[in-house]
Structure 1
Amino acid sequence: MEFPLHDYVAGARVATDLVTTSPTVRGPAGDGLPSPEALAAFLADHDLRLDAPPPTATDLFQVQLLRREARGIIETETADQAVAGCAVLMRRAALGPVLRRDAAAGVDGRWRWHVPTAPGAPLADELAAFLAAGLAGVVRALGHGRFRDCAAPGCRGVFADTSRTGRRRFCRPELCGNRVKVANHRARQAVR
């Protein structure tokens, strides 16, 4: 696997989405990654093409552990702690950055930094490097304050806010945000 350093948003998005698959966040709905097939679907949904073969039960277990590590980085109290956590994840599979022309722009394309992962690295280690680059990019470009707890009552989710305005409030806007909107609407209707 090789991923561009300039697109930290993709890594941060995958980190947030991975964290929200946790039973801690999903509650009664259970684990969002209950099987290797569910993990394969998660990777496909995020357009991640890792060098590793299709996920196994061992890969699933390792990614579930990685999910805790990603949550730990988002929950850090300081930028230094977050960056240190990202460095640990990067060391699992990332090799030194390389400079390559942007293939999408053709021969005259801009030069961009890319990070390759070690050949034969386990799936969870490749994914760890990708998530770490994304989360470290959030700290560098947007600041540690973009790591937040979900504002929905009762939700234990956390997320990296990579929105342009920096006003995201929910780990899963389509679920947590909608629940809050419905509750607020019902409260307004009850007052009438």
Structure 2
Amino acid sequence: MEIAINDYGVGAAVATDLVNTSPTVRGAAGEALLGPDALAAFLGEHDLRPDAVAGGRALTEDDLFQVVLLRREVRAIVETETEEQAVAGAAVLAGRAGLVPVLRRDADGGWQWYVPTAPDAPLADELAALIGIGLFGVVRALGHERFRACAAPDCRGVFVDISRAGRRRYCMPELCGNRLNVANHRARRMGSVAR
């Protein structure tokens, strides 16, 4: 796998989405990564084609177990209190499979930085490198304050805000934001009915 250094948003988005597959975040919906097929779907949703699954190798229960462990590591980094802690955690992730950066021409002929992953690296290590490099990019370009807890009162989710304006409030806007909007709407209706 080659990880483009200039597109940190990919790794940051994978970090956020991976953390939010946890039953800790999803509550009653439970675990999102229930088996190797769910993990394959997760990779597909992010258009990821790690070398570890090249050639049609099927994902295994061990791949799933290792990615679930990675999910815990990523959450811990997103919850760090300082930039230095976030950078140190991202360095550990990037070092799991990331090799020295290379400069290579892209499809348009321009020079781009890439971090290749080690040959035969396990899936979780390739994902760790992608996420680590993404988190490096966020700290450098946007700042550590973009690592946030979900603003929904009943949610334990965390996320990395890579939005242009930096005003994202919810780990899963379509779920947490909608849930809060519905609750606020109901409270307003109950208030107007009581009058």
Q: TM-score, normalised by structure 1?
A: 0.96
Report percent identity of matched pairs: 70
CA-CA distance at 1:27 after TM superposition:
1.4
Aligned to 1:85: 89
**Uncovered stretches (5+) of structure 1, i.e. residues with no partner:** none
| CA shift digits 1:83-122 (9 cap, x unpaired) | 000111111100000001121x1xxx32110010000000
Aligned partner letter, 2:115 = V
Aligned partner letter, 1:88 = V
CA-CA distance at 1:191 after TM superposition:
1.7
| CA shift digits 1:109-168 (9 cap, x unpaired) | 321100100000000000000011111111000000000000011100000000000000
**Partner Cα separation in structure 2 for residue 98 and residue 163 of structure 1:** 28
| CA shift digits 1:56-90 (9 cap, x unpaired) | 10010000000000001100000000000011111
Aligned partner letter, 1:168 = R
**Partner Cα separation in structure 1 for residue 135 and residue 159 of structure 2:** 10
**Partner Cα separation in structure 2 for residue 27 and residue 110 of structure 1:** 45
**Partner Cα separation in structure 2 for residue 3 and residue 88 of structure 1:** 16
**Partner Cα separation in structure 1 for residue 9 and residue 93 of structure 2:** 17
Q: Secondary structure at the match of 1:43?
A: helix
CA-CA distance at 1:55 after TM superposition:
1.5
Aligned to 1:55: 59
Cα RMSD between the aligned structures?
A: 0.7
**Partner Cα separation in structure 1 for residue 34 and residue 95 of structure 2:** 27
CA-CA distance at 1:34 after TM superposition:
0.9
TM alignment of 1:29-40, pairs within 5 A: 29-40=29-40
TM alignment of 1:89-128, pairs within 5 A: 89-103=93-107, 105=108, 109-128=109-128
Q: Secondary structure at the match of 1:87?
A: helix
Q: Tell me how many residue pairs correspond in the alignment.
A: 188
Aligned to 2:74: 70
Q: TM-score, normalised by structure 2?
A: 0.95
**Partner Cα separation in structure 1 for residue 181 and residue 66 of structure 2:** 36
Aligned to 2:136: 136
Q: Secondary structure at the match of 1:52?
A: helix
